[in-house]
């Protein structure tokens, strides 16, 4: 008996129209012109986070990776409507990480937080994004950010409610000095 015939006979009710075969991968997608897309869109990612070489595990959510370029505006003093803009400073939002709580990596976070609680040593963090296809992490690195001057801002653990039926989630918020290389 082949695997396909086993599936057809054992898992699906009789009369149900089921096609068994390969699931198309992102590389098989076509763009607007009908030709295969060389750079497929990544619909799901999983993020590996390390801080000063300490593995904090995989995260399913990264929020706040943003940069804002402030400008200074100058106007002419002669009453004309002319203005000049010049670069002022660059600011970065805090990064918030989220995932399902795990004993191993939650302990690693607690150890790091204990070390930084009274000694504010700025760290370097690496966030590596991997594509996530069909419930499996791709080994090919899709994107990476290196954060400098990292300090913890907040950590929140799961809400314990035996009646809730929800997955235990944790979040970690990090302040940082930037992810773009500084010139100077």
User: Is residue 75's pLDDT more than 60?
Assistant: yes
Instruction: Provide the strand spans (E) within the chain.
Output: 45-51, 54-59, 61-63, 67-75, 83-92, 95-100, 123-133, 136-137, 143-156, 169-175
Write out the residue range of the structural domain in which residue 69 sits.
45-175
38 found inside a domain: no
User: Is residue 49's pLDDT more than 60?
Assistant: yes
Cβ pair 147, 175 in contact under 8 A: no
62 found inside a domain: yes
pLDDT value of position 69: 92
2 found inside a domain: no
pLDDT value of position 24: 47
118 found inside a domain: yes
How many CA atoms lie less than 13 Å away from 59 in the CB half-sphere? Answer: 23
184 found inside a domain: no
In the predicted model, what is the mean pLDDT of residues 117-139? 81
22 found inside a domain: no
Provide the number of structural domains found in the chain.
Answer: 1
Q: What is the CATH number of the domain that holds 125?
A: 2.40.30
81 found inside a domain: yes
pLDDT-based confidence at residue 6 (cuts at 50, 70, 90):
very low
66 found inside a domain: yes
pTM confidence score: 0.71
């Amino acid at each position: 008996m082949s695997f396909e015939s086993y599936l057809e006979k054992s898992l699906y009710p009789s009369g149900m129209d089921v096609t068994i075969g390969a699931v198309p991968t992102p590389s098989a997608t076509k763009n607007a012109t009908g030709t295969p897309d060389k750079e497929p869109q990544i619909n799901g990612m999983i993020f590996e986070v390390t801080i000063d070489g300490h593995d904090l595990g995989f995260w399913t959510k990264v929020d706040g990776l943003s940069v804002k370029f402030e400008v200074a505006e100058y106007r002419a003093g002669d009453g004309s409507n002319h203005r000049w803009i010049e670069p002022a400073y660059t600011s970065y939002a805090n990064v918030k990480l989220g995932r399902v709580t795990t004993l191993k990596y939650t302990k690693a976070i607690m150890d790091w937080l204990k070390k930084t609680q009274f000694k504010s040593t700025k760290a370097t963090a690496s966030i590596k994004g991997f594509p996530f296809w069909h419930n499996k992490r791709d080994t090919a690195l899709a994107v990476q950010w290196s954060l400098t001057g990292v300090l913890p801002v907040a950590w929140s653990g799961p809400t314990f409610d035996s009646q809730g039926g929800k997955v235990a989630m944790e979040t970690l918020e990090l302040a940082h000095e930037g992810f773009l290389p500084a010139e100077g």
